[in-house]
């Protein structure tokens, strides 16, 4: 697989035209600031009364309505939550695009599942940094960057790939390295990773471990430390150097326990359930269910989320985290 760097990019394909960033959340803010610092003429498109209007204006951006920004720009980057794309696109963006304009996403969900259907004369591209917005901004500011995925769904102008790779370069992605993918591959692997490993799988494993220990009579505080708190230490090692670095920095006793007990917990049955999750993503079941849940006002979502936030491990965690001043300082800095 080829990794694309600054030498492969043509930033002028983006920098020579006005860019509209729709949304000013975590990714929107980072993309907008990085593009601006890279010499782009950036405007921000927000709904009337948006809570982020003042922040965007304080950063020196011109803020317009989504419709006005879409009409003024040659490249429109939709960086709002997935479920907002359809309404925003149909009512405010699509009517204001011209032939040869580019529509950019940071995730392929709404295009892959046809919630958004751009006209045939519009370039449809994706640039997906593999990190949260604050990291995308911090790495850019220190002259580095966060690796990106980029893709072309529709090439109407013959320059869509140049625009995608150029945009990736302008936000710092080609300093670290950009990899070309497809909307389908990015979306399906992203959803699977979130559901089976990063969010769904990891949190269920943590809670199951906590419950196993507390039900066996161990103190909730000890169970919290062992099953949740120390997870960060392991994840950091994996992030920095994979399985090899983790094994270099944990004890032989821990390694032995890893090798003999890991496969007892994550086994063929677990992998079968993972394949079920992937199948639901690939055949569109997950997307249809999520869209239907949103259209119904998210009653099941809200009930499940409330139950998740009220688990005993959360009460234990609140007490223990209050004893960790470095976490309190981190929250103040983030604010």
Find out whether 24 is annotated in a ligand binding site: yes
Walk me through the domains of the chain, giving residue ranges and CATH numbers.
3-182 (3.40.50.720), 199-266+298-334 (no CATH)
Pick the closest to residue 161 from 122, 116, 189, 124 (CA basis). Answer: 124
Find the farthest-apart pair of alpha carbons in the chain and give their distance in angstroms, rounded: 67
Residue with tokens 């309190």: 328
For residue 260, what are its two tokens?
């003999």
Alpha-carbon 284 to chain mean position: 20
**What percent helix, strand, coil does the chain show, rounded to 5?**
60, 10, 25
**In whole angstroms, how far apart are CA 198 and each of 180, 205, 311?**
23, 11, 19
Q: Is 73:96 a contact under the CB 8 Å cutoff? A: no
Find out whether 200 is annotated in a ligand binding site: no
Q: Is 245:258 a contact under the CB 8 Å cutoff? A: no
Indicate the pairing of strand 102-105 with strand 75-78.
parallel
Instruction: Kindly report whether the global pTM for this prediction surpasses the value 0.75.
Output: yes
Average confidence (pLDDT) over 105-114 = 96
- Residue-wise pLDDT for 298-331, tens only, equals 999 999 999 999 999 999 999 999 999 888 766 6
Average confidence (pLDDT) over 10-19 = 95
Find out whether 251 is annotated in a ligand binding site: yes
- Residue-wise pLDDT for 240-284, tens only, equals 999 999 999 999 999 999 999 999 999 999 999 999 999 999 999
- Judge whether 229 counts as a catalytic residue: no
Torsion angle defined by CA atoms of residues 236, 242, 248 and 252, in that order, rounded to the nearest 10 degrees: 90
**Which one from 17, 31, 85, 107 is the annotated catalytic residue?**
107
Find out whether 25 is annotated in a ligand binding site: yes
């Amino acid at each position: 697989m080829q990794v694309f760097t600054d030498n492969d990019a043509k930033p002028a394909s983006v920098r020579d035209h006005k860019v509209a960033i729709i949304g000013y959340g975590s990714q929107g803010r980072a993309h907008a600031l990085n593009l601006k610092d890279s010499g782009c003429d950036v405007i921000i498109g927000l709904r009337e009364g948006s809570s982020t209007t003042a922040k965007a204006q304080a950063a020196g951006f011109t803020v317009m309505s989504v419709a006005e920004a879409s009409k003024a720009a040659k490249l429109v980057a939709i960086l709002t939550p997935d479920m907002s794309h359809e309404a925003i696109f149909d009512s405010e963006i699509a009517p204001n695009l011209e032939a040869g304009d580019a529509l950019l996403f940071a995730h392929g969900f709404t295009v892959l599942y046809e919630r958004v259907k751009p006209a045939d004369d519009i370039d449809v591209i994706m640039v997906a940094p593999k990190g949260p917005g604050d990291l995308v901004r911090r790495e850019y500011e220190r002259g580095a960057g966060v690796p990106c995925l980029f893709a072309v769904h529709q090439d109407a102008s013959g320059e869509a790939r140049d625009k995608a790779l150029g945009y990736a370069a302008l936000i710092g992605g080609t300093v670290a390295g950009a990899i070309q993918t497809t909307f389908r591959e990015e979306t399906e692997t992203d959803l699977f990773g979130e559901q089976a490993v990063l969010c769904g799988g990891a949190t269920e494993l943590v809670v199951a471990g906590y419950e196993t220990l507390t039900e066996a009579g161990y103190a909730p505080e000890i169970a919290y430390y062992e099953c949740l708190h120390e997870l960060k230490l392991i994840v950091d090692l994996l992030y920095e150097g994979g399985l090899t670095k983790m094994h270099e920095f944990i004890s032989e006793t821990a390694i032995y326990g890893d090798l003999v007990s890991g496969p007892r917990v994550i086994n063929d049955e677990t992998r079968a359930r993972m394949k079920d999750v992937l199948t639901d993503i690939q055949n569109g079941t997950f997307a249809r269910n999520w869209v239907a849940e949103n259209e119904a006002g998210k009653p099941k979502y809200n009930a499940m989320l409330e139950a998740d936030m009220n688990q005993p491990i959360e009460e234990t965690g609140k007490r223990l985290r209050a004893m960790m001043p470095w976490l309190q300082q981190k929250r103040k800095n983030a604010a």
